[in-house]
Chain A
Amino acid sequence: MKRALARLILWVGIGATVLLSLGPFVWFATTSLKTPVEITSVPPRFWSSGTLEPYRSALVHHGLGGYMRNSAIVAGGTTIVTLAFASLAAYALARLRVPGHRLLLLAVLAAAMFPQIAIAGPIWRVLRALGLLNTHAGLVIPYVSLTLPLAIWLLASFFRELPLELEEAARVDGCTRLGALVRVVAPVAAPGVFTVAILVFVYAWNEFFFALLVLSDPSKHTLPVGIALFPGQYTMPWGEIAAASVAATLPLIMLVLLFQRRIVSGLAAGAVKG
């Protein structure tokens, strides 16, 4: 009896979570397939006629393709740069006897605590001084600095869990320290590296505030800013907004599905006796 109750509560909880997180997305997905008349009908209708017109319109009239490309450049660039820096830093902090590495890790964490709005002004001035306002590089730089702390922390904990003998074996087998990192540590830590990569990518893909701050040229806009600027002075193109939002979500879903296997596969099994 008690068990059945626990089970009931569990399923109600799961159901509520799924409804809350997926519900809006499903609503938007159906909205993206509605004609303007269907969207504004009273009472609201869940099912749509399945028109692809909002997608066509978002692409043709609102430049969705360009935003997609810009977002891909910025998010991809951020992910690559962050991973490169973070894996080297995390390796050093996890493995080498860096003096005061505890303090360094805390400092890294502290750096992640500043609210964005507090650093927005200084970053804008720095970027202007560097002539990087309104460039994608100018957006990648703050994204890297914002995602680095989390990436370093996560990677350091992944690296620390890898058996030390693996690297030592690689070094005896003829690798330099960097070679051991690239050939053995990184591949074995792949689940961790992919997890961090996805987190960083998703952050950069979704980020709105800095994207609005740094990029003023509409041709440079990323998806969140671009979609936010869909509404005209007298129009509210709900269909196009929904279509663009769904289109913006699909790459993320694909990315997670693609790498999920690598994340879950538990590559570290069988390295050492365990």
Chain B
Amino acid sequence: MATLELDNVYRRFGAVTALDGVTLEVGDGELCVVVGPSGCGKSTLLRVVAGLEKLDSGSVRIDGQDVTRSEPRERDVAFVFQSYALYPHLTVRENLAFPLRVRGVPRAEREGRVREAAELLAITELLERRPGQLSGGQRQRVAMGRAVVRRPRLFLFDEPLSNLDARLRGRMRVELIELHRRLRTTSLYVTHDQAEAMTLGQKLVVLRDGCIHQVGTPRAIYERPADPFVAGFIGSPPMNFLEGTVRSGSGGRLLDWAGPAVPAPEWVPEGPALLGLRPEDLFPGTGPLAMRVRVVEDLGGDRFVYGEASGVPLVYRAEPAQHVPSPEEQISLAVRPGKEHWFVRGRRLKPGG
């Protein structure tokens, strides 16, 4: 049980800035998910917390204690690697016991804790095997077991599920949530998969180019993305964007873009603006968007209709009962009122201000 605080952390690799002044707080027992495209610095962030990577400036505190210059072994954190990094020359039992043995935990206690961790992760029957004899999912469990057995102050997960197939990933995701609910260990979890981030996180951190773009609950970030990057990155299929200029017309404000002008609320200032529309907030009906259908993606439960309007790509989610248009059909789309996201100069506009 511990808190984690990062204060203005910088890390450069030659000309590349991996972490550009990251300040982040993770509360006791919280599961914090850092999400961002590849190369955004999220792995570096995790490695800085673990002590595997030095930082250029800034500080890291675990439980209020400054560990910026501490060795990894002094930090009392557990790291689950994307590649699992199991010790191939040791059996599963020895793998689990390794961190305890290194730390000089007495044999009797060691055995008890290994048994406990193995039961928790349902790998008891694998204890005598070597990593080479395990499937991907089993290795994943052993890697988590090796973290759990330590009872560390922090769990650090570096894309632990990205090497599993889709079905197994879904299952491990649920198990991870349950594991965290039972152990309540403060965790930092890094992923590039925004769907994974949405389901896991109590606290979501969106990172790009070493900068934190937004911190919040998954729902809050989804409903009120702080800037166009977050809006486009979180959500699948991604948000639709209409880029244009807002002007005052005879009947109120209008957004001029590539297609016929769409109405804008009074609180959007005149000038360049970006209108974001989630696929589920568009529906066929009398509206300003004339879309030519290109492809219909039927995922069984959800159906997404892709097309374009005046050269701008658009996608909307067809409701189950709705008629689904066929390719090359011309349809008109309406916007669910109040669901527009307005961005001016790269920031989200709040209604009324």
A-side residues, CB < 8 A to B, are 163, 165-166, 168-176, 179, 183-184, 187-188, 190, 267-273
Contacts and interface: CB of A to CB of B under 8 A. Distances in A.
Interface string B258-278: 000000000000000000000
Interface in B48-88: 50-52, 71-73, 75, 77-79, 81, 83-88
A169 B102 contact: no
A184 B132 CA distance: 16
Nearest to B129: A270
8 contacts: A168-B85, A169-B79, A171-B51, A172-B50, A172-B72, A172-B79, A174-B99, A188-B89
A185 to B, nearest CB: 10
A171 B71 contact: yes
Contacts of A173: 73, 78, 98-99, 102, 146, 150
A109 to B, nearest CB: 28
A132 B264 CA distance: 94
A188 B130 CA distance: 13
Contacts of A169: 79, 81, 85, 87, 146
Contacts of B78: 172-173
Interface stretch (B10-18, B133-141, B199-207, B315-323): B133-141
B89 A176 contact: no
Contacts of B182: none
Contact of A166 (B71, B77, B87): B87
Contacts of B132: 269-270
B73 A165 contact: no
Given A270-B134, A273-B139, A273-B163, A172 B84 contact: no
B72 A163 contact: no
Nearest to A272: B83
A158 B132 CA distance: 19
B73 A171 contact: yes
Nearest to B104: A174
Contacts of A165: 81, 83, 85
A190 B89 contact: yes
B210 interface: no
Question: Which 7 A-B residue pairings sit nearest by Cβ, starting from the closest?
Answer: A270-B132, A272-B83, A165-B85, A270-B131, A173-B99, A174-B102, A271-B88
A201 B72 CA distance: 38
Given A188-B87, A267-B88, A271-B87, A176 B73 contact: yes
Contacts of B134: 270
How many B residues touch the partner, as a band?
Answer: 20 to 34
Interface of B: 50-52, 71-73, 75, 77-79, 81, 83-89, 98-99, 102-103, 130-134, 136, 139, 146, 150, 163
Contact of B102 (A168, A175, A188): A175
Contact of A168 (B79, B130, B136): B79
Contacts of A184: 87
Which residue, B73, B75, B134, has most C-beta atoms of chain A within 10 A? Answer: B73
Contacts of A176: 71, 73
Contacts of A267: 88-89
Contacts of B103: 174
Nearest to B162: A273
A188 B51 CA distance: 23
Given A175-B73, A183-B102, A273 B136 contact: yes
A271 B86 contact: yes
A273 B73 CA distance: 24
Nearest to B53: A168
A272 B102 contact: no
Nearest to B89: A187
The listed residue with most B CB atoms (<10 A of its CB), out of A166, A172, A268, A269, is A172
B135 to A, nearest CB: 11
A270 B85 contact: no
Contacts of A179: 102
Given A174-B102, A175-B102, A188-B88, A270 B73 contact: no
A268 B79 CA distance: 21
A172 B77 contact: yes
A172 B87 CA distance: 13
Contacts of B86: 270-272
A168 to B, nearest CB: 5
Contacts of A270: 86, 88, 130-134, 139
A165 B87 CA distance: 10
Residue among A168, A173, A174, A269 with the highest chain B CB neighbour number at 10 A: A173
B84 A272 contact: yes
A21 B133 CA distance: 39
Contacts of A183: 98, 102
